[in-house]
């Protein structure tokens, strides 16, 4: 019930903290650096990493399903209704598409594509248990590590559970295909078991964690030791340094503009 692909690609052998640090760097660079060329370049770099890691086809498919509806919505909302739009491109009925709105929608779309792309790459090539183990082995609080890990994987888990509930209801004769109103009516029987199932899963997960002495403090023995080479540790230090430099550069520009 996760997006993880159990293969033996090169990215699967990279330490989870290295991929998590890459996610933070792409997030900081996409949001802090002005312009849309850098997010586009970051998206292409992530695409090359996905192809090199052997998950390129799955990565592209899932990226398209996630990003395409969001990008279309961004272009419609900002293209026609952006308050800063001044230069009209064309008019549809009473709505005018503006150049400024399209440019802003393109900026948001490029940033969103870079961030979603690198997050999806992390989910496809990192087992949740490995990520949790890597965070706790570095001294992070087990509770905080669990929150980070569960947040990254809650969406695919909910999608898998919703698909199972929908298939069970279809087997009982519920019509879930056809006209739009029929699909909307089929959502109501889906919500109740989905929400109740999520609550039950949370309780079962809490019991399982307590049975494994999750809240016990002190060092714990682990069965699976994640290999971490000096090269990867040096790479992570360089990536963290780039994040610090990006934040410092952005703050310097902000103070320079205010003075």
Q: Are residues 245 and 151 in the same domain?
A: no
User: Would you state the structure tokens that stand for residue 188, as one six-digit string?
Assistant: 């109501």
User: Phi, psi at residue 231, to the nearest 5°?
Assistant: -65, -40
Q: To the nearest 10°, report the CA torsion of 204, 209, 215, 221.
A: 180
Q: Are residues 118 and 229 in the same domain?
A: yes
Q: Are residues 116 and 34 in the same domain?
A: yes
User: Sorting pLDDT into bands at 50, 70 and 90, what band is 249?
Assistant: very high
Write out pLDDT tens, residues 170-223. 777 766 666 666 666 666 777 777 777 777 777 777 787 777 676 677 666 667
In the chain, the percentage of residues whose pLDDT exceeds 70 is 89
Place of tokens 């996610």: 23
Write out pLDDT tens, residues 12-51. 999 999 999 999 999 999 999 888 899 999 999 999 999 9
pTM across the whole model: 0.80
With vertex at residue 149, the alpha carbon angle to CA 148 and CA 155, rounded to the nearest 5 degrees, is 100
Domain count for the chain, please give it. Answer: 2
- CA dist 116 and 126 (Å) reads 15
User: Would you state the structure tokens that stand for residue 155, as one six-digit string?
Assistant: 């969406």
β partners of residue 92: 95
Q: Are residues 17 and 71 in the same domain?
A: yes
Q: Are residues 209 and 240 in the same domain?
A: no
Place of tokens 């949370």: 202
Please give the residue that has the higher pLDDT: either 236 or 168. Answer: 236
Residue 66: which domain range?
Answer: 11-126+225-254
Sign of CA dihedral 115, 150, 137, 133: negative
CB 135 within 8 A of CB 148: yes
């Amino acid at each position: 019930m996760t997006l993880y692909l159990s293969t033996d690609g090169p990215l699967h052998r990279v330490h989870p903290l290295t991929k998590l640090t890459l996610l933070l760097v792409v997030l900081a660079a996409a949001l802090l650096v002005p312009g849309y060329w850098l997010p586009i370049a970051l998206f292409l770099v992530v695409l090359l990493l996905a192809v090199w890691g052997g998950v390129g086809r799955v990565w592209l498919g899932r990226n398209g399903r996630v990003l395409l509806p969001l990008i279309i919505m961004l272009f419609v909302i900002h293209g026609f209704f952006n308050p800063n739009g001044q230069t009209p491109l064309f008019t549809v009925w009473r709505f005018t598409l503006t150049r400024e709105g399209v440019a802003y929608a393109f900026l948001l779309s490029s940033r969103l594509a870079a961030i979603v792309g690198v997050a999806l790459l992390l989910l496809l090539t990192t087992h949740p248990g490995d990520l949790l183990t890597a965070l706790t082995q570095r001294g992070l609080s087990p509770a905080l590590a669990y929150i980070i890990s569960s947040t990254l994987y809650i969406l695919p888990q909910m999608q898998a559970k919703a698909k199972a509930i929908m298939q069970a209801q279809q087997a009982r004769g519920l019509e879930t295909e056809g006209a739009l109103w029929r699909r909307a009516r089929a959502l109501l029987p889906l919500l109740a078991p989905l929400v109740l199932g999520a609550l039950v899963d949370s309780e079962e997960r809490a019991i399982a964690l307590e049975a494994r002495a999750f809240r016990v403090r002190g060092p714990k023995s682990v069965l699976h030791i994640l290999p971490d080479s000096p090269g990867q540790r040096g790479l992570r230090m360089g990536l963290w340094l780039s994040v610090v430099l990006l934040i410092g550069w952005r703050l310097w520009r902000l103070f320079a503009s205010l003075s």
